[in-house]
Structure 1
Amino acid sequence: MFQLSYAMAMRSSQSSFHRRTDCKARWSRGWLLLSLCLVLPLRAEESVLTIDVKAVNQERQEGYYIDLLKRVLEASKAPHETIQYRFADYQFAQLRWVTELSRESPHNNGVLWTMTTQQREQMLRPIRKPLFEGLIGQRVLVIRRVDREKFARINTLEQLRELTAGQGVQWPDLDIFRANDLPVIEGNGKEQLYKMLAAKRFDYFPRGVMEIVSEQTLLDQYDLIVEPRLIISYPAAIYFFVNKHNHTLAQRLERGWEVMQASGEFQRFFYSHERVVHALRFLQSGQHHPIYLHNPLAPPGLQVKPLKDWLAPGRPWPKPAKP
């Protein structure tokens, strides 16, 4: 009898133990589910923004635009957001980029930087913040070293019309020069144009004063120089462009610009960048002789700094605007 009672007591004890263990397991699973419920909404807020950059990442001269684009997007970045950049495998002519961006789905979040024109602003949505503050319209003349004396005698637009410039196919500058009755020969891209200049296919290759610093290797390769005195000047600006229907990305870029300008970050980035430092050093040294062109492609109301502002030596550092 005693053994039977002991066995029954042991079974009862084991059953009670299993019930307690099962209860603890259910309690643990409950806490786990509750924890997941609390964590999952936080993870749901995390998002990834992929930007389809209309450029080839390997090009060194594109670094300014990429760095600035990243800063603008970071300035308007949402909490828990990751931004990824997808670059093109090949570089295309400017008009092809414009056409492709205008036709693709706005959900692709494509971004292109290029000189603004009335046509391009009709096809795409511009972010009307000049990426170089208008420096792109200040052009130096790349010439053959042996022609330096010939260009030293040029002082007027009429005299410049006796010579021939080289410009890229589909570049807005091509139409600007032709509108000012300046003879032009076309080439496919700047590398080919440098070769054509060295081969005496034309007399000079106009380059943006902030572009030339990244092209010194090409000048050295073909024994070319920057004409030290002449500057061809016309109003022009490079903007970021997005698909005309991508209002979300456009507003995002505009908001990022406003934040950067209010904090002074854009001014610090702009005036400390190698390309701008080199351009201002060139413009503010020596005596330059400007030749002014009109730009019939410019959208109405285009506002950029005139050449005289860039030429002023010892310009004060711009003070950041108050937030």
Structure 2
Amino acid sequence: MVEQLAAGTADFDVMFTGINQERFDKLLTVPIPMQRGLLGHRIMIVSDESAGKMASIKTIEDLKGIKIGSGTGWPDTDILRQAGLTVEDSKYDNLFKMVAAGRIDGFARGAAEPFLEVGSRKEEFPNLAVDSEVLIVYPFDMFLFLNKNDTERHDILLSGLQKAYEDGSFMAYFENHPQIKEVFEQAGLDDRVRFEIDNPLLPAEIAAIPDQYWHGR
């Protein structure tokens, strides 16, 4: 889809996806993280059997000793690997099966994602749960991308998001969104063993985005 949007042959105008240097170079990026960086706060979907391993993780060396699942082609997969972690990549749906079967110890998900995902798969995978012990953090999020020539639409989106921050409507919507509320009510982000890793795929222009647009800064 990136190539289609870049070439002007896509049947859509705006793409909502994670940031990396390639997407930033090929497309026009609206430089405001749409989930305030929560996508870069990774918590694990685990099995009943692997949950004990998570409870024993206290150091980065401990973290390197488990097998983490992540999607094929996702920027996250490269970020985790470049941090020296052991990563098994596969298609999204396969990763739930891999955790349930014990082929990987956890499936790394953005903080707003795993509760709904596990809840909707309880019948198929009754041994899956959301880990409560470990948090992996790196600067990363979902952004809006457009064709390089679509500057007018880009400027409208950027201006609208900036105004939504100024008048408080962005934060009001964000904090009251059911998935986001679930994160802060259930995830216990401040109560986990926290590992901060670098994101070498993050464009310098995105790294320089003001702190007001990122959670926890």
Q: TM-score, normalised by structure 2?
A: 0.89
How far has the Cα of 1:229 moved from its partner?
Answer: 1.5
Partner secondary structure for residue 120 of structure 2: helix
In the other structure, the counterpart of 2:132 is 228
Aligned amino acid, residue 200 of structure 1: G
Q: In 1, distance between residues paired with 2:165 and 2:44?
A: 32
Cα RMSD (Å): 2.1
Q: In 2, distance between residues paired with 1:299 and 1:173?
A: 14
Match of residue 36, structure 2, among 117, 126, 133: 133
Higher relative contact order (CA 8 A, sep 6+): 2
In the other structure, the counterpart of 2:201 is 297
CA displacement, residues 277-305 of structure 1 (integer Å, 9 cap, x when unaligned):
01112344772110121111011142457
CA contact (8 A) 1:109 1:249 kept: no
Q: In 1, distance between residues paired with 2:123 and 2:138?
A: 28
Partner secondary structure for residue 241 of structure 1: strand
Structure index of larger Rg: 1
Q: In 2, distance between residues paired with 1:165 and 1:218?
A: 19
In the other structure, the counterpart of 1:208 is 110
- Mark the runs of 5 or more structure 1 residues left unpaired by the alignment: 1-96, 311-323
Match of residue 166, structure 1, among 54, 59, 69: 69
How far has the Cα of 1:213 moved from its partner?
Answer: 3.1
Q: In 1, distance between residues paired with 2:41 and 2:165?
A: 23
Aligned amino acid, residue 197 of structure 1: V
Identity %: 27
CA contact (8 A) 2:136 2:196 kept: yes
How far has the Cα of 1:177 moved from its partner?
Answer: 1.1
CA contact (8 A) 2:70 2:90 kept: yes
CA contact (8 A) 2:37 2:141 kept: yes
How far has the Cα of 1:258 moved from its partner?
Answer: 2.4
Q: In 2, distance between residues paired with 1:135 and 1:243?
A: 25
Match of residue 83, structure 2, among 180, 203, 210: 180
Q: In 2, distance between residues paired with 1:198 and 1:101?
A: 36
In the other structure, the counterpart of 2:100 is 198
Q: In 1, distance between residues paired with 2:194 and 2:186?
A: 14
Q: In 1, distance between residues paired with 2:12 and 2:64?
A: 43
How far has the Cα of 1:219 moved from its partner?
Answer: 5.0
Q: In 2, distance between residues paired with 1:180 and 1:285?
A: 21
In the other structure, the counterpart of 2:181 is 277
How far has the Cα of 1:147 moved from its partner?
Answer: 2.1
Partner secondary structure for residue 58 of structure 2: coil
Q: In 2, distance between residues paired with 1:168 and 1:290?
A: 22
- The number of residue pairs the alignment matches comes to 211
Q: In 1, distance between residues paired with 2:186 and 2:135?
A: 11
CA displacement, residues 251-274 of structure 1 (integer Å, 9 cap, x when unaligned):
121122123222221111100001
